Structures are given as structure tokens and as C-alpha cells.
Structure 1
Amino acid sequence: MLDIGYALSTRFPDPPQTDYRTADVRALRYDLFCGDVYLADTDTDRELSTARGTVPVLDFAWALCDIAERLDRDPLGSRASRPQHAELDFVESADNLRFTRRFGWVDITADWLSADEPPLTVNHGALRREARDFLHDLLADLADLHEELADNPVVWDLQARFPRV
């Protein structure tokens, strides 16, 4: 089973003058809510995680949902034998997460791991479901911290674009 989580950084707090109700896409994706993220396979007890405290957590959740959809563009779906690829670039560093889907499975590798480290392999359906759950749970947590965020039209659009599965 796939577990996706985060921790907000105390070293890089959001600017106190931020109006979360009117924050634009750029601010929400790249300037606010910095921290660390992880993807873990609870069955094999393996994890890919960051430890910088500078990852824009909402951007990570948003990009992960986009990637799950991009990996499902082949009309054959889980029967497609041709690999489908996607990358998640961390905007604050040169690191990437690479996703390769073949049949119904997705291999996830990270630039910061050694080349002989095996990829984290997850079911594509689980990746889609967990990414969307993570996004909705994150938005709920952030709205608890900043109530006016729940009134932001960008957040409404994001929740409508990626409903829970």
C-alpha cells in the first residue's frame, strides 16, 4: 500500500501578510507551504523522502495528481506494454522524481538515491487514489491553519479537477 505524507517547515514560514483568500496559482504552488514530503510503500517498508524543508508541499500534491493522470493517457490503460514516463521536478533544487508506468504498475525513482537502489513500485490505481486523497487531506489541513484558504477559487478549481476516487 502507498502512503503519501508531508511535514511543513518551521524554518521557512509563510509571510504573515499573506491573503490566502486571493493568493494566485503561482503563490499557492511555489511560494507558500514549504516543507518535506514522502512516498512510502508500507508493504515493503521502503520510502522516498525529502529532507530539505524547502519543497512546496501543495505543488507536490498538485503535480502528483497531474502525473497520475498523465500516466493514464494510453488508451490501453493497464494493458499497455509500452512504458509511459513522467517527471516531477522539484523547483527549489535540481532533483527529480521519475515515474515509469508499464502495465498497471508504476516505478518511482529519485535522483538523490544511488543507481543500484531499486525503484518504489506501486499500483497505478493506488497511486491515483492516494495522490488525490493526499491532495484533499492536505488542503483540509492547510484550511485548518489558514481558514481563508478554503474560500480561494484556485483551491475550489483544484478540488473539482481532482475529486477523491
Structure 2
Amino acid sequence: MLLDTPICDFGQPAPDFRLATPDGTVHTLSQHLGDKGLLVAFICNHCPYVKAIADRLAQDAATLLDEGIGVVAIMSNDYRAYPADAPPQMQAFARRHGFPFPYLVDEDQSVGRAYGAVCTPDFFGYNAAGGLQYRGRLDSLGPSSGPDRDPELLTAMRQIAATGEGPRDQTPSMGCSIKWRD
């Protein structure tokens, strides 16, 4: 099911999390939320929208990390019902696309619910105080590719790092619905 993300609720605090990568390395919000902010991306392996943007996400995330902005990705899908999203496949997906950020398993889906994630990809850009400033798409290309890319998320995160505030005009991300357990 194709969904769009809701409008950004500016200033909403980032819910805390304590999640592990598939290899068991634990990560927390406080480890990654620095003085230039944090991007939290809800993604998965099987969604065609995520597959289409994964390489561009990896490139933009590497730029953000180089500039001191934290980045994590979280997989909240019910991977028992969607085995393509299981932890071993997460590791392979991250390697294939060169993810420079931790790709975390939301085993009980509580983090995805706390953030209000609705689809993959779903991007949450926070300022240094942990206030939400961006809830938009990765770029103007969406699932397509081409030379005339406007890197909206990269630009927004740079603005948040510099000013503490995100752009007021944001285009929602769209993608596959999060696969919640019953």
C-alpha cells in the first residue's frame, strides 16, 4: 500500500531508542544526536521505493556524517511475515548499498510506533535539541533517477545543522506502508 508521510510536527521531541544492528551492536538516540542534529530514516529491504533510493541515501548520509550530522536507519517491519526484511538480509542490503550508518532492528516495533512512522522510506530530521524539523522526502527524483536531482533532505539537514530550524515547505516522502504485526 502506497502512503505519504504526514506534515512535519515542528519541535516534536525525538523518542528515545535503544536498538541493535543485526550483529548485536546497541545504539541509542543520545549516541547519535549531536550538536548538529540527527536524521532517523525508517527503511526496509523489500520496498521498491527504498530500493530505488538506497544508493542516493547512502551518498547523502555519508555527506551528512562527514559534516557532523548523525544518521541512523531503523527497520520496523514485521520481518517474520516479510522475510526479505529479516536481520541477515538487512546486513546484506546495507553492504550492497554501502550504508555508512547503523541499520537497526526494531524487533517489537515500539520505536516505529513512537516516532509515528507510516511508510518506508520515512525520514525524521532533528535539530541538536532533539526537536523535529524535517519530515519530507529524500529528493525530487523519488523512485526514478536522473541528473536534475534536488537533494531536499540533504539541504534541509544542512539548514537544521546551521540554524536549528528546518524548511517550512516540505514535500512528503512516499513509500510502502510499515508492515505492523496484528
TM-score (norm 2): 0.29
Q: Whose strand proportion is higher, 1 or 2?
A: 1
The structure number with the bigger radius of gyration is 1
Q: Whose helix proportion is higher, 1 or 2?
A: 1
TM-score (norm 1): 0.31
